[in-house]
Structure 1
Amino acid sequence: MNYVAHIRESDHQYQTVEEHLLGVKLLAESYGAKIGVEHIAGLAGMLHDMGKYTDEFREYIIEAVNNPDSPPRRGSVDHSTAGGKFLYKLFHVENIHRDKGLLSEVVGNAIISHHSYLQDFLNPELESNYLQRVRDKDLKEYKWTEQRFFELVMSKDEFHHYVDEAAAELRNYLDKEPSVSSETNLMFLTKFIFSALIDADRTNTRLFEGNKADEPALDYKQLFASYYDKLMSKIDSFAGQSSSQTPINLLRSEMSRQCDHCAERPTGIYTLSIPTGGGKTLASLRYALKHAKTYHKKHIIYVVPYTTIIEQNAAEVRKILLDDANILEHHSNVVEDTSDDDEHLDGVVNVQQKLKLAKDNWDSPIIFTTMVQFLNVFYAKGSRNIRRLHNLCESVIIFDEVQKVPVSCVSLFNEALNFLRTFGHSGIVLCTATQPALDFVEHKLKINTDAEMIDNLDHVIEAFKRVEVIDQATDEGFNNDKLCDFIVEKIDEVQSVLVILNTKTVVKRLYQQMQLNMAGSDVPIYHLSTSMCAAHRNDLLQKIREHLNNDDKIICISTQLIEAGVDVSFECVVRSLAGLDSIAQAAGRCNRHGEQELQQVYVIDHIEENLKHLREIKVGKEISKKILIDLKNNQQYHGGHILSIQAMEKYFKEFYSKFKTDLDYPIPKLGSKMTSLLLANIADNSYFQAYSTKNKERLPLFLANSYRTAAEHFRVIHDLTTSVIVPYGDEGKDIIAELNGERRIEELTRLLRRSQQYTINLFKYEHDQLDKNAGLESCLDGHVLVLKEGAYSEEFGLDLQNESGFDLSMY
């Protein structure tokens, strides 16, 4: 009698449980091989749907397919617990052995969680969600499930031999980094196995649903070698240009060559401290492509702080490599993991399942994404995020503007990079003009010895000096009235002025006030903020660059999104006081290519900005102000100028010292830290000690991590946001229209990728206000949110009042 794993929507063909388990096992093994744990991952693959070997599940799935309008009761069949219970019974009850006990907990947690998220071994209420499932839950047909597994999938002898191989892999894994606590290493291993299982399960199911045996494998080495040749042809073409022999371009060429040379060094964590305007994008791509082809890496991943840089860098790379299909931009999760548990839907293909099965796993050769998305992969709740983790291994990962790592996430960021370096065989580049002191904190980043790629940095910084920073922040503060007058005065002296302020509210008010003040003038004024989708900002930046290239008069007023890597060059920049790294980045938008001898960057203190909820900016501003006062009193302090290496070192050490208690991601509600929930060994685990005291016995597990609790409290940005697709231009409207139709999984994959440039993120108060003003709609059975046309404005992007109502297709 056949037991059914899935029933195909198109022809009602059955996929048997053994076909699915062995198919997922094979895929999971291939993912696990990246870090030497193929049997551990394969074990998760072959056991994850073991619970489908029941008459109850077969009747359930057939009934669900035959009666889609009246499916069986939600949650009526549990098929994910059996595999975890099987391992617990074998290695915690019948044959207690530390290695196999650890193995059963790592693999068992992934198995019981593959329709939701990893369970707590011990939670703040001193209960074990894990034990409640694998030890305490009664499964009616369990003994038959076990028997059918051994009969149809793998014999007992073969299985125990396979487990022995997996246990040997676990020992080798833990021996690789003995200086780190085993709990830390096991936490990352558990998340890696969970990632491998989720992706293998969804990929196998998607292939079955699409009636495909497999997908063609890419020859990464050949692909990256061809990309490298294209890049070198582009670089060689620069040599023939008349400007190639200028001192700046000769220095850019030399730094690019140094990156190429560094790519031959062993995989590790390196720093690339090219000053702003030094050709960082091409130099880092040169390193990445050469290192990838030399050391057989499978992905090159750019991680940036803001979505603005994604569009720009991706466009620049596409232009050189002439390949759109293999370059992915991932701005945000268009589809959120709204359901905590979708087990009741497994085997039945509906909209929610199609969205889950759509390729969203970062398997592209070149990926551009954000710091938020990177950190979410490791620490946020939801299987959509963690599915991508295994593809971060065997990669080259370039962190552009790495100084923007949120303070509360510094320790978690460092630990994730240490895992990728040591176990994941990933090459990591910390790329910025202002290197933060990430090795200064308690959870240190294991940067390579002689990590800096660029020689003689002091000389390079001096050679790239194109601006003078004028301190007006230690004088009387500016309000918008005074700032408007200042801008009008400067635009009479120069052709272009860029103003960067710290809050969207003040930026918008200043823009509106400048329009009134300059009514009748032919000087264009532009406004940029994260309330605009990527495609909208791209169009505006293109217009801004045209004005700059034509040497037209132009004023641009922006939030800080413009300062991190956006390739624009203004004659004059005004920056509201913030951290030194922000001032340095703002300076990089002035006289970027050395068009003039020296141009001015004015640092002001804007008194109308409310930084109450922006503590990192507020503290950075205070430290920068102290350094400016020091320099005002003695020009020899801090290396003699505000952007010196000495000033930056002082700034970051003081900055991280101020936030010392925040670096490990405190969770005030629990009176605990994220690092304690995830990384603490049992001896230091307060929940473990309290459990022992309360129950007068030791927790009968080897691990006590609180994975689920940690994920529920994790936010890269503390205010939770929701992605929404906006009707910007014909493309945005077309995507929304197509999402409302009936779509196959492949079409949904394509649409979700297209929609990346047409999304913005809403804070909760914005979501609530739009809801109240009827500015939101949903499609795909409510799983994707979209803005109504009236809720998106040509000038400001998001319009919470839903009163815009203009024709975006004309813009």
Structure 2
Amino acid sequence: MGYIAHIRERDHAIQSVRQHLLEVKTLAEHYGAKLGVAHIAGLAGLMHDMGKSTPLFRDYIRRAVFEPEQGAKRGEVDHSTAGGRLMYERLHIGAPKANRLRYLLSEVVGNCIVSHHGYLHDYLSPELESDYLRRVRDKDPIKLDYETARDDFFVTVMPEAQWQAYVDEAVRELEAFCVQPSTEPLESRIMLLTKFVFSALIDADRTNTRLFEEGASSAAPEPEAAEARRMRFQSYYDKLMQHMASYLEREDADSRINRLRREMSAQCEQFAERASGIYSLSIPTGGGKTLASFRYALRHAMRTDKHHIVYVIPYTTIIEQNADEIRRIIEDDAHLLEHHSNVVQDEREDDEYLDGLPGTSQNLKLAKDNWDAPVVFTTMVQFLNVFYARGTRNVRRLHNLSKAVIVFDEVQKVPIPCVSLFNRALNFLKQHADTSMLLCTATQPALEYVEHKLDKDLDGEIVQALDEVTNDFKRVDVHDRTADQPYDTERLAASVLAPLDETPSTLVILNTKSVVQRLYVRLKGCGVPVYHLSTAMCADHRKSELAKIREHLDREEPVVCVSTPLIEAGVDVSFHRVIRSLAGLDSIAQAAGRCNRHGEKGTGQVDVIRHAEEDLRHLPEIRAGQSSTEPILIDLRGNPELHGGHMLSTGAMRLYFQRYYRKLENELNYPIPRLGQTMTSLLIESRTSQDSYYDAYKAHRQKGPLNLFMTNAPRTAADHFEVIATHGVSAIAPYGDGKRLIAALNSGLSIQELGRELRAAQQFTVNLMPHEQRRLSENGGLEALLDGKVLVLKEGAYSKEYGLNVNNDGRFEAAIC
């Protein structure tokens, strides 16, 4: 009897180890080719399940499927170490310096293989332990039945001579990768290469297994031809241009604002002819950057044969808005993916193991979740998770960021601790992955002025004569009221209500949820429609509230909206008046973009105030933004001609960001206080040149030389990584269609159906902070589905008016501690 990789759940059909390995190899090669590392990725695919070629594993999987009463324990047989051990045994020999490339290849591919059910192991941890060596060098080969697996591999999968020739090709690819020009140190590039290969392996393995389980051909799908991609993007482009032409038929087509929008859109078209790189699009707020950037992306994708267009947006608030706008234009919903959040909670421990056993856990992992779509909309959290968060679900998507156009909307919202990590990821994509990136915002951050600089292209700004355009787009007067007495809730409410006859629509943006809710409760019932927006509401809920607000605005009816800063990042609304609590200059500019957005109201009014009741003790970035803004406001109060004559000039913004990053320079590398290190040091900085590490390792482990080129600690880094501190977990809210989705997930679904429903559920998720999750668990407001991998809120824990209710009592708690 041959060796078994998987046994299909519905009919107990068998996929052999040989079939699985060769098919995963082919698919991994296809993914790896985008980076010029087809053989490196192919090696990982070829050998990842080599350890299943043993009587021990065959007996285990048959017993688990056909004799469940015998109590086979998932993961009791280690099948992922053998392939990594073979790489180490054959390539990690001789003097390290003389065989550098073979050592590197062994470490890159071997770690991917032994980690493919959890996350990459540390080569050398802060405690001077090497989990990688523990797996590939120190594990008992007899317990693994290693020799049986190795011998069967060379007999049934690939003859040894052919394997050696394949390895030689992989070595040549690695050498070519290492000598590519780059601004990044080699250690950083090799670490990100390892993650790319890991991504290719994970996606190839999951995809092949899913196809087998679905009864489809499990051979690698035919890659889409370049001409087919070009024709699809061409059809999108034609529809976009037809849509933009329709604007010329409007009464206001020849207004100053609309003429400027057309000019900047045309500049995007011309700029798309340039080579791949990192560029900026500094269209002022209200300048139509969504369609202008899409025009650039389509033209550039056609010219340079990019496979994907990915929009990365700071908040889920505007994913649906921007995605809906593009969806209406391209009329191809099947090829546009919105990825708001991970509905399924990521693995936090080793999952040894997708053993091929049927069940909910396997189905969740196999559900298609790899960003393999022509157009993708996602968040900054999800983008950074792809590179740095633990678990296989996140990193699986990484390879689809190669040969792509990535548009970063409101790029100034990159979280401060992630600035260096963000720059490293973009530099890797530009220099090695043939990816172009467009940094879109009216307030460009100074990412090229920090220690770990962004490799932004020289002369890379698309908008010409930017200062003139900014002045021409002036639609509001920004009034600095910060020297006045600070506002409390009562005084602010009076300030909102008094001028409603003259300025019927007012938006108030405050820095914390508690003061937003307090003001909302105070204004509610004032005789004017009042709306509340915050991250306590799921995306579909916010979308519904924004639709109601827009109806009032379109009819020029009185309306008040009180919101946290989430509304600033590109939400397409236009109020007569905006009140903004003091924050960073970029936030003030973005708030101003929600006022008189289309220049239809003459000159709008924006007031910048101090709020007496905001507690910013745990919001250091807002405090740093305030302190970096205040000197500019003081300068302008003393001399209105300074800084280009107004607080939102490009010169003032550049000065603001330089000050802002200097104030927070100790935070830019993602410090990990518990370890006394940073994420960048764990992932990037080499320790091989420091003899003290070798000496300490020998003394600590009482073993021979370390003999490692890679000394990074990717698992330790991932264990400590959160894009937003205490970001928590996602739960599906029983709002709108969320109720149906919760019921559907609680029933038996096929892998294909499960993937579809999980994607749909993203618009109905709410993020829970750790203390909120604990409180809901205690009061019964939270339920776990699908073996605890998916969380859902009970009816009493979600309000149709306010969103999340941690009391689970069906009532709204006005003040949140």
Tell me the distance in 2 between the aligned counterparts of 1:68 and 1:206: 23
Q: How far off its partner does 1:337 sit?
A: 2.0
1:309 maps onto 2:309 in alignment: no
C-alpha offsets along residues 28-66 of structure 1, whole Å, 9 cap, x if unaligned?
000000010000000000000000010000000001111
C-alpha offsets along residues 145-195 of structure 1, whole Å, 9 cap, x if unaligned?
111000001111100000000000000001003553211110011000000
C-alpha offsets along residues 229-254 of structure 1, whole Å, 9 cap, x if unaligned?
11011112222333221121111101
1:136 maps onto 2:138 in alignment: yes
Tell me the distance in 2 between the aligned counterparts of 1:699 and 1:482: 67
Equivalent position of 1:732 in the other structure:
738
Task: Write out aligned runs for 1:483-632 (5 A).
Answer: 483-515=492-524, 518=526, 521=527, 523-632=528-637
Q: Is the 8 A contact 1:49 1:83 kept in 2?
A: yes
Tell me the distance in 2 between the aligned counterparts of 1:475 and 1:331: 40
Q: How far off its partner does 1:68 sit?
A: 3.6
Paired AA for residue 700 in structure 1:
N
SS of 2:460 mapped into structure 1: coil
Q: Identity of counterpart residues, as a percentage?
A: 57
How many equivalent pairs are there? 801
1:73 maps onto 2:80 in alignment: no
Q: Is the 8 A contact 1:793 1:799 kept in 2?
A: yes
> Quick check: 167-176 or 715-724, which moved more?
715-724
Tell me the distance in 2 between the aligned counterparts of 1:191 and 1:124: 20
Task: Write out aligned runs for 1:38-117 (5 A).
Answer: 38-68=38-68, 70-93=70-93, 97-117=99-119
Equivalent position of 1:330 in the other structure:
339
Change (3 A) 1:10 1:493: same
Q: Is the 8 A contact 1:77 1:344 kept in 2?
A: no
Equivalent position of 1:278 in the other structure:
287
Equivalent position of 1:145 in the other structure:
149
1:741 to 742, 747, 750: 747
Q: Is the 8 A contact 2:123 2:712 kept in 1?
A: yes
Q: How far off its partner does 1:733 sit?
A: 0.6
Equivalent position of 1:241 in the other structure:
250
SS of 2:674 mapped into structure 1: coil
Equivalent position of 1:763 in the other structure:
769
1:670 to 660, 671, 675: 675
Equivalent position of 2:815 in the other structure:
none
Tell me the distance in 2 between the aligned counterparts of 1:253 and 1:69: 70
1:209 maps onto 2:213 in alignment: yes
Q: How far off its partner does 1:70 sit?
A: 5.0
Task: Write out aligned runs for 1:19-418 (5 A).
Answer: 19-68=19-68, 70-93=70-93, 97-140=99-142, 141-177=145-181, 179-213=183-217, 215=221, 217-218=223-224, 219-338=228-347, 340-418=349-427
Q: How far off its partner does 1:624 sit?
A: 1.2
C-alpha offsets along residues 231-287 of structure 1, whole Å, 9 cap, x if unaligned?
011112222333221121111101000000111110100000000000100000000
SS of 1:682 mapped into structure 2: coil
Tell me the distance in 2 between the aligned counterparts of 1:505 and 1:307: 20
1:444 maps onto 2:448 in alignment: no
Q: Is the 8 A contact 1:258 1:454 kept in 2?
A: yes
Tell me the distance in 2 between the aligned counterparts of 1:222 and 1:709: 44
Paired AA for residue 187 in structure 1:
M
Tell me the distance in 1 between the aligned counterparts of 2:486 and 2:355: 61
SS of 1:490 mapped into structure 2: coil
SS of 1:492 mapped into structure 2: coil
Q: Is the 8 A contact 2:31 2:399 kept in 1?
A: yes
> Quick check: 675-684 or 103-112, which moved more?
675-684
Equivalent position of 1:472 in the other structure:
481
Change (3 A) 1:658 1:689: farther
User: Root-mean-square deviation (CA), in Å?
Assistant: 1.5
Paired AA for residue 76 in structure 2:
S
Q: Is the 8 A contact 2:74 2:355 kept in 1?
A: no
Change (3 A) 1:460 1:688: farther
SS of 2:615 mapped into structure 1: coil
Q: Is the 8 A contact 1:298 1:395 kept in 2?
A: yes
Tell me the distance in 1 between the aligned counterparts of 2:627 and 2:498: 28
Q: TM-score, normalised by structure 1?
A: 0.97
1:636 maps onto 2:638 in alignment: no
Q: How far off its partner does 1:697 sit?
A: 5.8
Task: Write out aligned runs for 1:687-698 (5 A).
Answer: 690-691=696-697, 694=700, 698=705
SS of 1:642 mapped into structure 2: coil
C-alpha offsets along residues 490-514 of structure 1, whole Å, 9 cap, x if unaligned?
3232110000001111101110111
Q: Is the 8 A contact 2:111 2:132 kept in 1?
A: yes
SS of 2:293 mapped into structure 1: helix
List runs of 5+ in structure 1 lacking aligned partners: 807-811
1:453 maps onto 2:462 in alignment: yes
Change (3 A) 1:739 1:70: farther
Q: Is the 8 A contact 2:82 2:146 kept in 1?
A: yes
SS of 2:605 mapped into structure 1: strand
C-alpha offsets along residues 692-721 of structure 1, whole Å, 9 cap, x if unaligned?
675696422111010100000111101131
SS of 1:481 mapped into structure 2: helix
Q: Is the 8 A contact 1:580 1:648 kept in 2?
A: yes
Tell me the distance in 2 between the aligned counterparts of 1:617 and 1:667: 21
SS of 2:184 mapped into structure 1: coil
SS of 1:245 mapped into structure 2: coil
Tell me the distance in 2 between the aligned counterparts of 1:672 and 1:657: 20
Q: How far off its partner does 1:11 sit?
A: 0.8
Q: Is the 8 A contact 1:498 1:556 kept in 2?
A: yes
Tell me the distance in 1 between the aligned counterparts of 2:56 and 2:26: 27
Q: Is the 8 A contact 2:529 2:559 kept in 1?
A: yes
Q: Is the 8 A contact 1:474 1:628 kept in 2?
A: no
C-alpha offsets along residues 748-775 of structure 1, whole Å, 9 cap, x if unaligned?
0100111011001100001011111110
Q: Is the 8 A contact 2:283 2:441 kept in 1?
A: yes
Tell me the distance in 1 between the aligned counterparts of 2:695 and 2:311: 42
Q: Is the 8 A contact 2:449 2:658 kept in 1?
A: yes
Change (3 A) 1:485 1:196: same
Q: How far off its partner does 1:673 sit?
A: 1.1
> Quick check: 124-133 or 231-240, which moved more?
231-240
Paired AA for residue 778 in structure 2:
K
List runs of 5+ in structure 2 lacking aligned partners: 813-817
> Quick check: 775-784 or 26-35, which moved more?
775-784
Q: How far off its partner does 1:646 sit?
A: 1.2
Q: Is the 8 A contact 2:35 2:434 kept in 1?
A: yes
Q: TM-score, normalised by structure 2?
A: 0.96
Change (3 A) 1:736 1:432: same
SS of 1:417 mapped into structure 2: helix
Paired AA for residue 36 in structure 2:
G
Q: Is the 8 A contact 1:478 1:604 kept in 2?
A: yes
C-alpha offsets along residues 80-114 of structure 1, whole Å, 9 cap, x if unaligned?
00000111111124786211111000000000000
Paired AA for residue 788 in structure 2:
G
Tell me the distance in 1 between the aligned counterparts of 2:712 and 2:293: 37
Equivalent position of 1:809 in the other structure:
none
